[in-house]
């Protein structure tokens, strides 16, 4: 059960992204107003705005946290064709029980892109301090900080050229040494005749470069977001994809192919495990819980929807939440409620609240949408 909390956005324009840190007690938001705002959760569970700074000279598309092992570090990307890395500096504590002054410092500005940088993600911590960006020009760039104590120095390690403009990317977070580093990227190109809109790449130790494993040809609609699920020991990977029409959940299973293994490349069997059009239109965001068993999506219908895995190929909708915070029962819950003797004084929302309760945490003052880039 979630406690009721209200968060005032304080941005002056459309919010494009929200990101929580590793522990879930810090939150960063970014907006078309060019600002990034950082919120902290106090001991009472309330969120307070602790930092606000102008990050770019144009709309900020994405903000993401690095693993806390590397300190309090953020990365942002923008329509101004740059990505930036920020580090929080905490001053001297002014007195007993008081927190020192804190502010965010831009440690580096990555200016290799010629077009809008549409997504930015830190790599899994086991691979060191890596940062991947993708852009509207169709290029993935992977940077590395050779010295994690000096975040002003980043080296461009790899450039991966794709045939379509890119809108989003995700690192595979698998901790297994049997799984080489893997990245999936999506394109929001609207021409269905251009083929698949999701590409999967893997780093080959033999060739010391990133190799494209597959183009997921079954997804020809524009892709706005995608994310690998946490992998806590599964032999296969799960990828959630948000498209113009629906939410797709894909199983990516590495095959035991002797010839591919000799070349240092994995061969994948890609199957669609589930496909949901509950939003009735564009799906903008997807995210996973820490165990990789529940995926959450947000779409044009103003709903946040959750889907749970019951087996490898069996996913079911478990709840839907309106933008105002009220919960809507799923089809299964509604069927169950009508087939059970219900006192007339009871309401559907009351029945739904018996199993779970979700409370609105905040709102965006200007809900009108605009083109991202």
- pLDDT tens column, 116-157: 999 999 999 988 999 999 999 999 999 999 999 999 999 999
Quote the pTM value. 0.84
Q: Report how far apart the first and last C-alpha atoms of the chain are (Å, whole number).
A: 37
Assigned domain for 241 exists: yes
Do 26 and 38 form a contact (C-beta atoms < 8 A)?
yes
Q: Residue 358: its pLDDT value, please?
A: 54
Assigned domain for 322 exists: yes
Assigned domain for 92 exists: no
Residues 6 or more apart from 149 whose CB is under 8 A from it? none
Residues 6 or more apart from 256 whose CB is under 8 A from it? none
CATH of the domain at 319: 2.130.10.10
Assigned domain for 75 exists: no
Assigned domain for 358 exists: yes
Assigned domain for 76 exists: no
For the record, the structure tokens of 241 come out as 């994809």
Q: Residue 217: its pLDDT value, please?
A: 95
- Can you tell me the distance from the alpha carbon of 220 to that of 211, in angstroms, rounded to the nearest whole number? 21
Task: Give the phi and the psi of residue 331 in degrees, each rounded to 5.
Answer: -60, -40
Q: Residue 258: its pLDDT value, please?
A: 66
Do 284 and 242 form a contact (C-beta atoms < 8 A)?
yes
For the record, the structure tokens of 297 come out as 């999506």
Structural domain boundaries, residue 373: 162-339+346-373
Assigned domain for 260 exists: yes
- Name which of 265, 247, 226 is nearest 121 in CA terms: 226
How many domains in the chain? 1
Half-sphere exposure of 336 (CA within 13 A, CB side): 9
Q: State which residues of the chain have pLDDT below 50.
A: 1-4, 95, 97, 337-356, 364, 366-373
Containing 184, the helix (H) or strand (E) segment is: strand 182-186
Assigned domain for 274 exists: yes
């Amino acid at each position: 059960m979630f406690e009721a909390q209200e968060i005032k956005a304080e941005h002056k324009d459309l919010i494009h992204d929200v990101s929580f840190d590793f522990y879930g007690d810090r939150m960063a938001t970014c907006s078309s107003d060019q600002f990034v705002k950082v919120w902290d959760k106090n001991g009472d569970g309330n969120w307070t705005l602790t930092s606000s700074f102008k990050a770019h000279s144009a709309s900020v598309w994405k903000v993401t946290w690095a693993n806390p092992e590397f300190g309090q570090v953020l990365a942002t990307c923008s329509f101004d064709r740059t990505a930036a890395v920020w580090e929080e500096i905490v001053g001297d504590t002014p007195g007993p029980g008081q927190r020192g002054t804190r502010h965010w410092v831009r440690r580096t500005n990555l200016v290799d892109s010629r077009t809008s940088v549409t997504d930015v993600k830190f790599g899994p911590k086991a691979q060191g301090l890596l940062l991947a960006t993708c852009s509207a020009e169709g290029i993935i760039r992977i940077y590395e900080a050779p010295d994690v104590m000096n975040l002003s120095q980043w080296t461009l390690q790899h450039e991966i050229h794709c045939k379509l403009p890119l809108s989003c990317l995700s690192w595979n977070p698998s901790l297994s040494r049997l799984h080489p580093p893997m990245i999936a990227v999506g394109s929001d190109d609207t021409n269905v005749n251009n083929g698949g809109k999701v590409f999967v790449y893997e780093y080959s130790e033999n060739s010391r470069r990133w190799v494209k494993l597959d183009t997921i040809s079954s997804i020809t609609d524009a892709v706005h977001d995608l994310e690998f699920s946490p992998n806590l020991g599964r032999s296969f990977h799960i990828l959630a994809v948000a498209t113009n029409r629906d939410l797709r959940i894909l199983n990516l299973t590495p095959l035991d192919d002797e010839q591919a293994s000799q070349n240092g490349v994995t061969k994948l069997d890609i199957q669609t495990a589930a496909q949901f059009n509950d939003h009735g239109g564009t799906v903008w965001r997807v995210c996973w819980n820490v165990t990789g068993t529940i995926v959450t999506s947000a779409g044009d219908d103003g709903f946040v929807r959750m889907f749970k895995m019951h087996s490898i190929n069996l996913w079911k909708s478990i709840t839907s939440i309106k933008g105002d915070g009220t919960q809507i029962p799923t089809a299964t819950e509604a069927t169950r409620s009508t087939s059970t003797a219900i006192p007339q004084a009871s309401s559907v929302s009351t029945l739904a609240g018996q199993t779970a309760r979700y409370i609105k945490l905040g709102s965006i003052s200007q809900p009108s949408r605009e083109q991202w880039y």
